[in-house]
A and B are shown apart, each in its own frame.
Chain A
Amino acid sequence: DQQVKQNSPSLSVQEGRISILNCDYTNSMFDYFLWYKKYPAEGPTFLISISSIKDKNEDGRFTVFLNKSAKHLSLHIVPSQPGDSAVYFCAALFGNQFYFGTGTSLTVIP
């Protein structure tokens, strides 16, 4: 039972343009949503989070949007840079349990 889904396995974007990564979830009781970034042979690195009571959180080039009615969140990266090329995981927190999506591989083309 996959409670957090990332339906796009990969995404390619030109440098300087916007990258939009999407995530859907099924459990309306999730407290927090998070995005992690993962480079090859490294562990995931926390990127940004959003509380379930908010609909937007921004940190520099990264903005996360939460649409609770659609049970959907997205990560916007503007402008995209080649160093952003990585696998991005969304995760959701319920109580003390984290649920991860399957990841989206982002390639930023110089």
Chain B
Amino acid sequence: EAGVVQSPRYKIIEKKQPVAFWCNPISGHNTLYWYRQNLGQGPELLIRYENEEAVDDSQLPKDRFSAERLKGVDSTLKIQPAELGDSAVYLCASSLVGGVEQYFGPGTRLTVT
């Protein structure tokens, strides 16, 4: 069974440029999470989806970040415009609804210069 797929794995952009990350969760997993992990820190939730619905986006900086999960499967996280402080690893995870165990993708390492 394929795991959580993320692309790209690495991205380097200049500040003020837009960037997008893509995630394909494990088949059958209705819950999808986007996390941001700064160096030396644990993952911090940005947004959680149950199917197509964003049920928790309280930590998403909505002035520059947006996310979508069309058809309740793949998801895209966008930053526009990027700032230097956005440099981090962006992790996508999925789980069954109400599941305790999350499955993480490899992450996208974003560097904003």
A93 to chain B, nearest CB (A): 6
B contact residues around A93 at 8 Å (CB): 100
Q: Are B102 and A46 in contact (CB under 8 A)?
A: yes
Instruction: Kindly list 5 other residue pairs between chains A and B, CB separation below 8 angstroms, not including A93-B100, A97-B45.
Output: A34-B100, A43-B104, A89-B43, A91-B42, A103-B42
Tell whether A81 is near chain B: CB-to-CB under 8 Å. Answer: no
- In the complex, what distance in Å separates the CA atom of A89 from the CA atom of B41? 10
Tell whether B91 is near chain A: CB-to-CB under 8 Å. Answer: yes
A63-101 CB contacts (< 8 Å) to partner B: 89, 91, 93, 96-98, 100-101
B contact residues around A103 at 8 Å (CB): 40-42
Tell whether A4 is near chain B: CB-to-CB under 8 Å. Answer: yes
A contact residues around B103 at 8 Å (CB): 46
- In the complex, what distance in Å separates the CA atom of A97 from the CA atom of B41? 17
A50-73 CB contacts (< 8 Å) to partner B: none
- In the complex, what distance in Å separates the CA atom of A101 from the CA atom of B91? 16
Q: Are A41 and B101 in contact (CB under 8 A)?
A: no
Q: Are B100 and A44 in contact (CB under 8 A)?
A: no
- From DSSP, what is the main secondary structure of chain A's interface residues? strand
A contact residues around B48 at 8 Å (CB): 96
Total A-B contacts with CB atoms under 8 angstroms apart: 50
Known contacts A43-B4, A96-B55, A97-B56, A49 near B101 by CB under 8 Å: yes
Q: Quick one: which of A9, A36, A96 has the most chain B CB within 10 A? A: A96
Chain B residue at minimum C-beta to C-beta distance from A5: B42
Q: Quick one: which of B43, B93, B101, B107 has the most chain A CB within 10 A? A: B43
- In the complex, what distance in Å separates the CA atom of A93 from the CA atom of B100? 8
A42 to chain B, nearest CB (A): 5
Q: Are B100 and A49 in contact (CB under 8 A)?
A: yes
Tell whether B105 is near chain A: CB-to-CB under 8 Å. Answer: yes
Partner of B42, one of A41, A46, A89: A89
